[in-house]
Amino acid sequence: MIDQYAVFGNPVAHSQSPFIHACFARQQQQSMHYVATQIDPESFAQQVDAFLQGQGKGLNITVPFKELAWQLAEVKTPRAALAGAVNTLWRDEQGRICGDNTDGLGLINDLTQNLGCSLKGASVLLLGAGGAVRGVIQPLLEAGCSELIIANRTPEKAQQLVQHFAETAGAAVTLHACGYSEIPAKAYDVIINGTSASLQGDLPPLPEAIVGAHSLCYDMMYSATQTPFCHWASRQGAARAVDGLGMLVEQAAEAFFRWRERRPDTAPVIAMLRQSLAQQ
C-alpha cells in the first residue's frame, strides 16, 4: 500500500502542495501519494484522527487550522510548542499525534538562501498576528534581527504575541506591537505580510513611509500574478517585492524531511512551480 499524505485546509483548492510533494517524491525516489482536502472546521479533529489512524502517514495543515492542529498534537517539537501553531502532523511509534511548525524555517531559508537577504541586525516589520505569523517570530529573532515590529488590525493580538515571545527575544532585540495606523513611520529593511488579505485580493492599510529604496517586501502568500501587497510595495519603490512561493517550497521540504528523512533539492522545484503558475 502506498503511503498517503495530504494537506488539510479551507480553502485548499488553490494549494500547490500536491505538485510540490510529487516533485520531491520523484526526486528522492519515494513511493507516496499526496492530495489536498478541504475540511469543515467542525470536523477537523475527527478528520485528522481518521486520516492518521488509517493509511495516512502525515499531514500538512494550512489556514485556518494551524492553531487547532497545535491543540491536537500530543507531542510538539520545541519550535512548534513556542509558536502555538502547527503545520505538520504525523503519528510516532507509540501512536501519538506529533506536531511541528516548519513555516519559520521555510521563510528564513527562502530569505537568506534563495534571496540572499541578511537578517543580522535588520529592522523587520511583520504584518498580522495569526497562526502563520506565530510560526515565524522565533526564527526571525534567532536569525539576528535587531528590531521586530508586529502590526495587526487588532493591536491586542499583536501585543499578546510580543508578551509571549519577549522572554526568548532577549534584550538585544526591540520587540514591539501596534495597530497599522501606529506603525512607526520609517523605512524598514524587511517587511513581511503575514495576513491572509492577499487571498481576498485585499491589502492592510499601511503608511507609505515604511518602504524605502533598500526595503525587501515579502508576502507570505503567493499567486500566479503579483499579489496586491507586492504590487503596492513595488509602487512605493521597494528594492524587491517577493511572494511566498519559495517559502511554500522550503517549508514543504522540511515537512518532507520530517516524514521521509530525505532532504529535497528545492531550487528546481521552485523554478518548476513558478513556470507552472505562469502558464495558468
Known binding residues are: 15-17, 62, 87, 103, 128-132, 152-157, 220, 222, 244, 251
**Triad 268, 140, 8: Cα angle to 5°:** 60
Q: Is beta strand 147-151 parallel, antiparallel or unpaired with respect to 123-127?
A: parallel
What distance in Å separates the CA atoms of residue 270 and residue 267, rounded to the nearest whole number?
A: 5
Which residues are annotated binding-site positions for NADP(+)? 128-132, 152-157, 220, 244
- Active site positions, annotated: 66
Backbone torsions φ then ψ of 223, nearest 5 degrees = -160, 160
Q: What phi-psi label fits residue 128: left (phi over 0), alpha (psi between -120 and 50 degrees) or beta?
A: left
Return the residue matching grid coordinates 498534537.
73
What distance in Å separates the CA atoms of residue 86 and residue 260, rounded to the nearest whole number?
A: 18
H or E segment and range at residue 124: strand 123-127
What distance in Å separates the CA atoms of residue 263 and residue 272, rounded to the nearest whole number?
A: 18
Which residues are annotated binding-site positions for shikimate? 15-17, 62, 87, 103, 222, 251
Q: With beta carbons less than 8 A apart as the criterion, state whether 79 and 138 touch.
A: yes
Residue 245, CA distances (Å) to 107, 148, 253 in order: 10, 23, 13
Q: Which of 129, 136, 122 is nearest to 156 (CA)?
A: 129
How many CA atoms lie within 13 Å of 115's alpha carbon, on the beta-carbon side? Answer: 25
What distance in Å separates the CA atoms of residue 126 and residue 140, rounded to the nearest whole number?
A: 10
Q: Which of 197, 200, 205, 194 is nearest to 244 (CA)?
A: 194
H or E segment and range at residue 218: strand 216-219
